[in-house]
């Protein structure tokens, strides 16, 4: 059976069958499938599963550029607060002289 004829559902079913303890050799023989093709499907299946199981709230899964941008904005905000505090302190010292 040519690769284009394998539906997503069928590929999913075949990969699950092996993951549940089935034999790759037997599955390939029964379905006229090459082991190489099966392993490509299995690897894609596992990559998708791994992506689906990521904790989206975990900072390790964030885009590094966006995370760096967030950190820089936080540092900038903190520095602006320090500068405002220093200006007010300087003004108070000037009034007290």
Q: Within this chain, do residues 29 and 10 fall inside the same structural domain, yes or no?
A: yes
Structural domain count of the chain: 2
Q: Within this chain, do residues 65 and 46 fall inside the same structural domain, yes or no?
A: no
Range of the domain at 94: 61-97
22-72 residue pLDDT tens: 999 999 999 999 999 999 999 999 999 888 887 777 666 667 788 888 899
6-26 residue pLDDT tens: 999 999 999 999 999 999 999
Q: Within this chain, do residues 6 and 41 fall inside the same structural domain, yes or no?
A: yes
Enumerate residues 6+ apart whose C-beta is below 8 A from 28.
34, 35, 38
Q: Which has the higher per-residue pLDDT, 81 or 56?
A: 81
């Amino acid at each position: 059976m040519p690769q284009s004829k394998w539906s997503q559902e069928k590929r999913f079913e075949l990969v699950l069958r092996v993951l549940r303890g089935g034999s790759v050799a037997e599955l390939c023989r029964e379905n006229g499938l090459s082991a190489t093709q099966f392993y490509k499907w299995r690897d894609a299946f596992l990559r998708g599963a791994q992506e689906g199981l990521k904790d989206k709230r975990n900072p390790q899964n964030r885009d590094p550029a966006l995370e760096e941008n967030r950190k820089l904005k936080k540092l900038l905000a903190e520095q602006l607060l320090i500068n405002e505090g220093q200006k007010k302190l300087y003004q108070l010292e000037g009034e007290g002289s």
